[in-house]
Structure 1
Amino acid sequence: MKKYIKIGILVLIALIFIGTFVFLYQKSQPKDTKYDIQKVETTNLVQTTVATGKIEPRDEVQIKPQISGIIAEVYKEAGEKVKKGEVIAKVKVIPELGQLNSAESRVRLAEMNGRQAETDLTRMEKLYNDKLVSNEEYEKTLLAARQAREEIQAAKDNLEIVKEGITKNSASFSSTLIRSTIDGLILDVPVKVGNSVIMSNTFNDGTTIATVADMSDLIFRGNVDETEVGHIREGIPVKITLGALQNMKFDAILEYISPKSVENNGANQFEIKAAITVPDSVTIRSGYSANAEMELQRADNVLAVPESTLEFSGDSAFVYVLTDSVPLQKFVRRAVKTGISDGIKMEIKQGVSAGELVRGLKHED
């Protein structure tokens, strides 16, 4: 019995040894590696670049007051359309005490001078009617009375302006009524009733009452890298894709390339603008993020191969041309001269002929 057990153990050990030897032998044998084969074809290639940016109206105006005060009324809100000259808000003037006192004093003084001028005129008219004074003296007194009346009116108007920012005679030109300066859509009204506002002048930008834009004239504004800006020019067609409307593309025309670069994250970039054409049935909002695809170079009816078939070494490029496929694939390495690339295929200017087969990515059986 023990003899049979020993024989069984020896047989098992022998089988394990033989199996291990066969396994290691098979692992040591070279595998039959096969490659995908790609054909050299004649095609059209277009090299493009994509600039990132946003959509904005060409004309966007910030409406600012010409007088300081408090917002008394707001007649419009964001999203409403306005016409040029239409009132958006009303400002209530808060008079400065020094100016108010000066204006009131001017009125009192003008009225005093006016009463004296009227008295002098009454006296002069009596003397003139009695032919005791000359025409010249009478006319001088009459002129002085008229000037006094004008000064009274000017002083009262000035007091009204200081108090109310407007006079009764110039209500249509009131600076307290904030009007739109263009036809367009109100994008934003950042003020509310009760807010203080500062007038716009040489030394102060002033408080923005509203932002109005002509949304019928939109542009794409973005940036192009300095390595690509030399291949584009004003007037070329542009395809615009919006982040909010990804299933749609809009036609545009490149109309501006900045002559000066700006540094962005260590790279020199140039600002571009393109006029976009929007169908009436589509609503685009200001500030939409967008991508602009532009053609850099084009090559028609050229030989091309997938970029994955190329091997690069320094400034040289190579492909492996299929010479035999039975029983194993055989290739010959050949130098080629490349042209433009569309990101998938690359132009081959020299080194291969149409219809030749080149080595692609490998796969194992």
Structure 2
Amino acid sequence: MKKILIFGTIAVLLIVVLLWFGKKNKASVIEYTTDKLITATIENKTVATGKVVPLEEVEIKPNISGIIDEIFLEEGVIVKKGDLIATVRVVPNEQSLNAAKGRISSVEIQVNNARISYERSKSLFDKGVIPRQEFENSELAYDRSKQDLANAQSDYQIILKGSAGSSGMANTNIRATTTGMILEIPVKEGYQVIQANNFNAGTTIASIADMSKMIFEGKVDEAEVGKLSVGIDLEVGLGAIEEKKFPAELTFIAPKGTEENGAVQFKIKADVELDEDYFVRANYSANADIVLEKKDSILAIKESLLQFDKKTEKPYVEIKTGEGVFERRDVEIGLSDGINAELISGVTEEDEIKVWNKASKDNDNNNN
């Protein structure tokens, strides 16, 4: 009985093994497709983020302090040099005004004294009592005192009204100093403004720029700035105009970088070639595509065909040597754009390269 059980167990195990081998033989064999090398143009690009701004933006500031009396133009208007933008009403300083009045009174006394002296000298000169030189000195003193009075009165008018006499170009008239578009008028009627001087930049009444001359201002990382050079071409894309790319030329690379979030960034500038069909506004956000390196019509391999050794991290492919038989081949690659990579060595144009369409234990064994 015991022998029957032993032989029965062996028979069952044998049947199980035979069934397993039969199922294994019926399993479908993994079939791989193949691909070959291609000829492609590969570019290594970087993107600089920034904005487009006018090449020159002029800020208009008053030559006298006061209050905005009236604004004649609005933002977006095209102006010519000399156009009136606003007027300023002078609010005189009481202390300066009193000082100016006191000076007028003082000079008037001097004028009266000089006039009396002049009239006396003239009478004596006409009678032949005094020489001509003495008379001319008296006349000169009288003329000087009258000029001093005119200057004092003029200073008083400037303090009081901002201009002297009937001057057509009074300091209270704020005019455009260049031709262009008014980008901004940051003040309103009734605002107090301060004149520009050696100690104060003054209040900006308007900013004007030529919108036909725009530049791109952006920043690039220190790892890529060494690959740039003045004169290379860029393509500028604007967030507000998605369907259009504007060509540009790099004109400036900052010699000094600034640290931002732990990375050193370098400022760049580029002249943008505008299109008359699109109106580009100042401070549009923009991205500039910069070609760091480019190779035309070179032998390339699709990066999807590459595998990397787990130990050495070097790339390799598998080349078809027979029906269902593949051989590992190490390759050397160069410039890559993320889709295709330049092939330097390891594969020929005639080689059929395995397309990695399914993971298998064989693949894992090849990596080890």
**TM above 0.5:** yes
Count residues in correspondence: 339
User: What does residue 74 of structure 1 align with?
Assistant: 71
* TM-fit CA distance, 1:321: 2.4
Once the two structures are TM-superposed, the CA of residue 355 in structure 1 deviates from its matched residue by 3.7
1:279 corresponding residue in structure 2: 275
Which residue pairs with 2:217 in the alignment? Answer: 221
Q: Residues 149, 315 of structure 1: CA spacing in aligned structure 2 closer, same or farther, 3 A cutoff?
A: farther
CA distance change for structure 1 residues 361 and 74 in 2, over 3 Å: closer, same or farther?
farther
Residues 317 and 338, structure 1, Cα contact 8 Å, conserved in 2: no
1:332 pairs, out of 318, 321, 327, with: 327
* Distance across 1 between alignment mates of 2:256 and 2:189: 43
C-alpha contact 1:38 1:306 (8 A) present in aligned 2? no
- 8 A contact 1:310–1:317 mirrored in 2: no
Gaps of 5+ in 2: 1-18, 360-368
Q: Which residue of 2 aligns with 1:230?
A: 226
TM-score, structure 2 as length reference? 0.86
Question: Tell me, what secondary structure is at the counterpart of 2:200?
Answer: coil
Q: CA deviation at 1:169?
A: 5.3
What's 1:317 paired with?
314
Q: How far does the alpha carbon of each residue in 1:215-240 deviate from its partner, in whole angstroms, 9 at most, with x for none?
A: 11110111111111122211111111
Q: Aligned partners of 1:357 and 1:230: how far apart in 2? A: 39
- SS of structure 1 residue aligned to 2:53: strand
Residues 311-363 of structure 1 show CA distances to partners (whole Å, capped at 9, x for unaligned) of 3347653232231574x4x4322221111112211111111112423233424
Call closer, same or farther: CA 1:360–1:135 in 2, change over 3 Å.
Answer: farther
CA spacing shift, 1:117–1:360, aligned 2, 3 Å: farther
Q: Which amino acid aligns with 1:145?
A: Y
Aligned mates of 1:165, 1:232 — CA distance in 2: 53
Query: How far apart in 2 are the matches of 1:165 and 1:57?
Result: 33
Q: For each residue in 1:3-59, what CA deviation from the matched residue of structure 2 results, as whole angstroms up to 9, or x when unmatched?
A: xxxxxxxxxxxxxxxxxxx99x97999774455533211222122222111110010
> Is the aligned partner of 1:346 residue 2:350?
no
1:37 and 2:34 are equivalent in the alignment: yes
What does 1:5-154 align with in structure 2 at a 5 Å threshold? 32-35=29-32, 37-154=34-151
Task: For 2:53 and 2:277, locate their aligned partners in 1 and report how far apart those are by CA, in whole Å.
Answer: 18
CA distance 1:43–1:139, shift in 2 (3 Å): same
Partner of 2:161: 164
Q: Deviations for 1:63-118, whole angstroms, at most 9, x for unmatched residues?
A: 11222111111122110111122221111111111101000111111112112211
Q: Would the aligned equivalents of 1:72 and 1:193 in 2 still touch at CA under 8 Å?
A: yes
Deviation sequence 1:269-322 (CA, Å, 0-9, x none): 211111011122321100111111121112233221122222334765323223
Give the CA deviation at 1:247.
Answer: 0.8
Give the deviation of 1:156 after TM superposition. Answer: 0.5
Q: For residues 69 and 25 of structure 2, what CA distance do their matches in structure 1 show?
A: 91
Residue identity (%): 38
Distance 1:27 1:102 in 2: 114
The one-character-per-residue Cα deviations of 1:237-259 (angstroms, maximum 9, x if unpaired) are: 11111111111111111111111
Q: Is the 8 A contact 2:183 2:209 kept in 1?
A: yes
Correspondence for 1:256: 252
Equivalent residue runs for 1:179-190 within 5 Å: 179-190=175-186
Structure 1 residue runs of 5 or longer lacking an equivalent are 1-21
Task: Quote how far apart the aligned CAs of 1:265 are.
Answer: 2.0
Specify the code of the residue in structure 1 equivalent to 2:248. A
Q: Tell me if 1:195 matches 2:183.
A: no
Which runs of at least 4 in structure 1 moved beyond 3 Å after TM superposition? Answer: 25-38, 312-316
CA–CA distance in structure 1, aligned partners of residues 41 and 337 of structure 2: 10
Q: CA RMSD in A?
A: 2.3
Equivalent pair of 1:83/1:183 in contact (CA under 8 Å): yes
Q: Letter of the aligned partner of 2:150 in structure 1? A: Q
1:162-200 Cα deviation digits (max 9, x unpaired): 11111125442x222222222111100010010011122
